[in-house]
Amino acid sequence: MLNKNWLTDSHIDLEYKQYILLAYLEEVKQNFRATKLYPAFADLIEHYQELIRLKENTLHLFEKFPERMAGIDNESLRLVYQKIVENDEIMAELQKIIDYSIPKLKQHLEEGKKIYELVEEKIIIQPVGITPLNSSEGYLLLKMTDDKSTSAYQYKITIFESPTEKYRGINLEYVKSYEKSYYNTYENIKIDLITSISTLPNPATFAIETEMALPVQETYLPIAKRTLVKYVSTQTI
């Protein structure tokens, strides 16, 4: 992945930064070709949003640079620091690097978005049995892409509030896997989980499956988690 401070680390030179960025984007491209979305997709979003923010506000760009000690304020007895960069030419070079990088990142973001949307369209989610009024915690049954097993996860959805909106997060813990068999239906798996784990006597349970062959950790599970959060958010939590 790309260093968080790649823009201001080391040499501030357009050609050098192009080399760094293109090497990173080639790595991203290789992941996308293998349908491995995460962590590359999330990393791309973070870098893109940061560059947009820096382009819109030069002050934020200036603050990205490290400081060095310039002396001591004798009145307050405090150390005085100054930014290492105070050169207009360097700031202009940084603007060139930002202007070059934003469309490159955006192009790869669009590719990642297409993969995400394609996988999301091919994922099917369904409740297993009766769903309780409170669906904020329960079990996720993830049918594996090899079609030979189903993995059970215990989930808990939390809500974070800001002054303007609510954010939902999900915590997922692996419980166990069930081999494909005539007996191991989603309903029987739910019964087994209720019997073996007493902390959730009446859990909400959802099954997710897809016909696509996907990398589990890098694509299937992350998108399944978001699909579950989106589905449950339409219920009363």
Report pLDDT digits (tens) over 184-217: 999 999 999 999 998 888 899 999 999 999 999 9
Query: Do 23 and 112 sit in the same domain of this protein?
Result: yes
State the maximum Cα–Cα separation within the chain, in Å, rounded to a whole number. Answer: 81
CB 68 within 8 A of CB 9: no
Are 69 and 114 in the same domain?
yes
**Does 74 score more than 90 pLDDT?**
no
**Residue 18 and residue 117 in one domain:** yes
On whether both 116 and 173 belong to a single domain, the answer is no
Higher pLDDT, 8 or 170: 170
Same domain, 108 and 132: no
* Domain-ending residue, one of 90, 121, 152: 121
Residue 166: pLDDT band with limits 50, 70, 90: low
Q: What angle do CA 102, 107, 109 make, to 5 degrees?
A: 90
198 domain residue, yes or no: yes
Report pLDDT for 29: 97
pLDDT at 111 over 90: yes
On whether residue 111 sits in a domain, the answer given is yes
Record the tokens describing residue 164, joined without a space.
């303007």
Reply yes or no on whether the pLDDT at 156 is more than 50. yes
What's the mean pLDDT in 170-177?
A: 94
**Are residue 163 and residue 114 in the same domain, yes or no?**
no
Is the residue at 29 inside a domain? Answer: yes
Give the rounded percent of residues in the chain with a pLDDT score beyond 70.
83
Mean pLDDT of 28-56: 93
User: What amino acid is encoded at 191 in this protein?
Assistant: I
Q: Please tell me the predicted confidence (pLDDT) of residue 150.
A: 95
Query: Is residue 78 over pLDDT 50?
Result: no
State the pTM of this model.
0.81
**Domain range enclosing 153:** 128-233
**Whether residue 137 is found in the same domain as residue 113:** no
Mean pLDDT calculated for residue range 119-135: 92
* Separation between Cα atoms, residue 25 and residue 109, nearest integer Å: 10
158 and 108: one domain?
A: no
Where residue 134 falls among pLDDT bands split at 50, 70, 90?
Answer: confident
Q: Is 165 domain-assigned?
A: yes
Residues 147, 228 share a domain = yes
pLDDT band, residue 72 (cuts 50/70/90)? very low
Q: What pLDDT is stored for residue 10 in this prediction? A: 78
pLDDT of 98 > 80? The answer is: yes
Which of these three, 72, 104, 121, is where a domain ends? 121
**Residue type (1 letter), 215:** P
User: 7-11, 84-88, 139-143, 151-155: lowest mean pLDDT where?
Assistant: 84-88
* Token pair for 64: 């990205």
Classify strands 123-127 and 137-143 as parallel, antiparallel or unpaired: unpaired
Q: Are residues 100 and 197 in the same domain?
A: no
pLDDT in tens, 34-46: 999 999 999 999 9
- Looking at the structure, do residues 116 and 140 belong to the same domain, yes or no? no
Which of 121, 136, 170 is at the close of a domain? Answer: 121
Mean per-residue pLDDT over the chain, rounded: 85
The residue-averaged pLDDT of 170-192 equals: 94
For residue 141, the model assigns a pLDDT of: 97
- pLDDT value at position 193? 96
Asked if residue 9 is part of any domain, the answer here is no
Structural domain total, the chain: 2
Residue 112 sits in the same domain as residue 132: no
Give the helix ranges, DSSP H, for 123-155. none
The reply to whether 190 falls in a domain is yes
